[in-house]
Copies of this chain bind each other. A is one copy, B any other.
Amino acid sequence: MRIGELSERTGTPRRLLRYYEEQGLILPDRCANGYRSYDERLVDRVLQIRGLLDAGLPTRIIKQILPCLDKPRVIHFSDATAEMIATLVNERDRMTQRIECLTRNRDAISEYLDAVLSNNTAR
């Protein structure tokens, strides 16, 4: 598929699809005329990238963790240098912290909403 379709299907501006490519997050093929050609599975990948960006991860880190999430995991053992592993452990832990922080605060918001709403309907 071309960039327009991917853009629509992922709700992502074309500009950003090119940007993610520039940052090495995705690597579309090129048609004879120079147009980018995206594989079907890049739909999910782009959504994943957007989710991670929205959760505060920079492209530099996303680029490092993405290859670890592909199915044939064995292929990527070569990347497993000591520093790479340290980075992954570190990022995993930071993600856990984020999850905890978000969960705490979301639950507090929920509680507040419950209180306010039940109060409103009770009035």
Contact = CB atoms under 8 A, between A and B. Distances in A.
Interface in A44-80: 48, 51-56, 65, 68-69, 73, 76-77, 80
Copy total for this chain: 2
Question: Chain A interface secondary structure, helix, strand, loop or mixed?
Answer: helix
Given A73-B115, A113-B88, A105 B98 contact: no
A16 interface: no
A55 B98 contact: yes
A55 B98 CA distance: 6
Given A98-B55, A99-B103, A68 B108 contact: yes
Nearest to A47: B101
Interface residues of A, number: 41
Contact of A116 (B80, B98, B113): B80
14 contacts: A48-B105, A52-B102, A54-B56, A55-B55, A68-B108, A76-B112, A80-B116, A80-B120, A88-B109, A92-B109, A92-B110, A95-B102, A95-B105, A99-B103
What 7 pairs across the A-B complex have the smallest Cβ distances?
A51-B101, A56-B56, A68-B112, A95-B106, A55-B98, A69-B108, A92-B109
